[in-house]
Structure 1
């Protein structure tokens, strides 16, 4: 009897442990419906096998090109474009409630205060959402209610200036915005003005910081950026000249540390950078090249945080617009926009190099990936 009782106790203790090790993870995919997609997609990813599969499609939203999930994992926010003929030109930021099964329940939306909304982020405390609009060069801040709904924009900044590339930099083009890790500031890369703008977040307002921006090389075209885990270095990927510029904090001032190419020596074709991510352990940095169709891999020096070129890895598709690292750091998933496929790579633990797993999912025009 004692043996039976002991066995039952062990089973009760062991079953919850098994449930906590469920390898199935949810991934939301932002797309361009104007290029054949149907909306926001929900995929399942097996973190043991690397298999990725489509589970649900959330239709009725136009060009949900970029999305982000709240820190408590209860809400999803996506920038979208206006439905032609039905709403005023411009765009929106939408709020959704995430159900236990991954279903998205629309809550509300607010206007983007600019054309071509292209990026969205949520503050670490979940109280604010910020967006960037490419065509109008604006950044806007929105309060978030307890139920996840968005308040009207409390602050909108209209960027000023231009760059030397008259085809791409005749006006400001805010391409991304992200909160600092403590939420006290927001940073925004503007492709049109070659600047990473810096704002203090105070009482629902975006206020230019004491150091209001840092500059890239003329014509660089900053697009996205990521923070080193030590919070003292920012890596900015430049779309137009295919480089990464890093800035290190010296006291209260950000100073340029390094600029390095994302393309292998000798490449002469046309290529445009897109996305950038630092590995969670701060040892490696990755950037995507559209045209060269590769992921550039850099090693990060532990003491100086400077980048050392390692190699570039083909993305097994065309136009790698966005990619994401799995929460456990074992995989990289790349969204190839033009070839319509999401490709799974394993990450070598020792070298940080992405290795094609042979796993992929056909999906029209994937442009943003985010793990739940």
Structure 2
């Protein structure tokens, strides 16, 4: 009898653990000036079924359009992007309870720049790309998770040919896999910049290392590293180019280029987001404009890409998307149709299939998964 009891106890515990392992939190950042949004939302995501269930949300957070979660998952940082400029542009810190999904505001610091649109953090610093100012802001981080004053502003200069390139527009910041460098893509200057990263410095946290040119009038937007860290894939907003660079010690060298735009496509191109599947075998990139689709590519040897499929996002303006940690699903934030659409992902082919599931939400523009 005791053996049966302990067996059942073990069985229930195992089933409960497996169920918990299939669940994650999804933190969503939004714009809230054109529709009713409270800022950030936390959903529980079931990676077996693809279901999203609302757990919690903030109140009155201004345009948290990009988010970053601390390595210990105790804190969440958001940009506050005010397109009209002024002192509302900055970074906010929140204490994060992953079990309840509750986000408690800690503090906010001004970026000393306009249009912060991307954010990364580590144990020492928080770094934003500031689109409207064409600059990068480096904030310090306190032990209690709060944001300290700006340590450094790095200003880009230059312009391109397209109407969207009237000046420098820093669009994304990203750590190299070894955290020795920070890369910055600039839509206005058609360049990627690399900076040596000195996390403990008081002022010169970022020191210029190198720059590489993208195609003229391509508009570098977002990039991602290959799983082995040897390649960088750059998505360009203006013309839909997708460029592969080799990467080593802060230096990028172009090795290949393709496009996310269909050969017969006629319309407006506005590429947005790019991600690699958890197994490192497939790359996905979204196109807004009049296309509203996601292209899938198989990652070949030496960083080259092979086109797989192109799938409608079933909404308008897929500004951001994410792949769940298990690789089972891809979730798209359609900014202008105000919804999150969920697709099943074929791990063998990389192709996407609509599940019919979606969540209505005002202007979703950033997704970050965390453990519960």
Q: TM-score, normalised by structure 1?
A: 0.92
Note the C-alpha offset of 1:142.
2.1
1:187 aligns with 2:183: yes
Note the C-alpha offset of 1:293.
0.6
Corresponding position of 2:168: 172
Alpha-carbon distance between aligned partners in 2 of 1:187 and 1:90, rounded to the nearest angstrom:
26
Corresponding position of 2:40: 40
Corresponding position of 1:54: 54
- What is the DSSP-based 3-state SS (H/G/I as helix, E as strand, rest coil) of the residue aligned with 1:304? helix
Note the C-alpha offset of 1:264.
1.2
- What is the DSSP-based 3-state SS (H/G/I as helix, E as strand, rest coil) of the residue aligned with 2:242? strand
Note the C-alpha offset of 1:25.
2.1
- The question of whether the paired residues in 1 share the 8 Å contact of 2:80 and 2:88 is answered with no
- The question of whether the paired residues in 2 share the 8 Å contact of 1:62 and 1:83 is answered with no
Note the C-alpha offset of 1:243.
1.1
Corresponding position of 2:131: 134
Alpha-carbon distance between aligned partners in 2 of 1:333 and 1:74, rounded to the nearest angstrom:
24
1:154 aligns with 2:158: no
Q: 1:260 to 1:206 in 2, by over 3 A?
A: farther
Could you give the per-residue CA deviations for residues 103-158 of structure 1, whole angstroms, max 9, x where no partner exists?
A: 001111111121011000123xx332211111001112222222211221222101
Alpha-carbon distance between aligned partners in 2 of 1:88 and 1:310, rounded to the nearest angstrom:
44
- What is the DSSP-based 3-state SS (H/G/I as helix, E as strand, rest coil) of the residue aligned with 1:260? strand
Corresponding position of 2:227: 229
The Cα RMSD (Å) is 1.9
Corresponding position of 1:264: 262
List aligned pairs for 1:89-168, cutoff 5 A.
Answer: 89=87, 91-99=89-97, 100-123=99-122, 126-165=123-162, 167-168=163-164
Alpha-carbon distance between aligned partners in 1 of 2:30 and 2:222, rounded to the nearest angstrom:
18
Alpha-carbon distance between aligned partners in 2 of 1:349 and 1:168, rounded to the nearest angstrom:
37
Alpha-carbon distance between aligned partners in 2 of 1:251 and 1:91, rounded to the nearest angstrom:
33
Q: TM-score, normalised by structure 2?
A: 0.92
> Which of the numbers 271, 282, 285 marks the counterpart of 1:284?
282
- The question of whether the paired residues in 1 share the 8 Å contact of 2:27 and 2:368 is answered with yes
Length, aligned pairs only:
362
1:18 aligns with 2:15: yes
- The question of whether the paired residues in 2 share the 8 Å contact of 1:97 and 1:107 is answered with yes
| 4+ residue runs over 6 A deviation | none
Could you give the per-residue CA deviations for residues 63-84 of structure 1, whole angstroms, max 9, x where no partner exists?
A: 1111121121111110003698
Alpha-carbon distance between aligned partners in 2 of 1:192 and 1:9, rounded to the nearest angstrom:
65
Alpha-carbon distance between aligned partners in 1 of 2:314 and 2:13, rounded to the nearest angstrom:
39
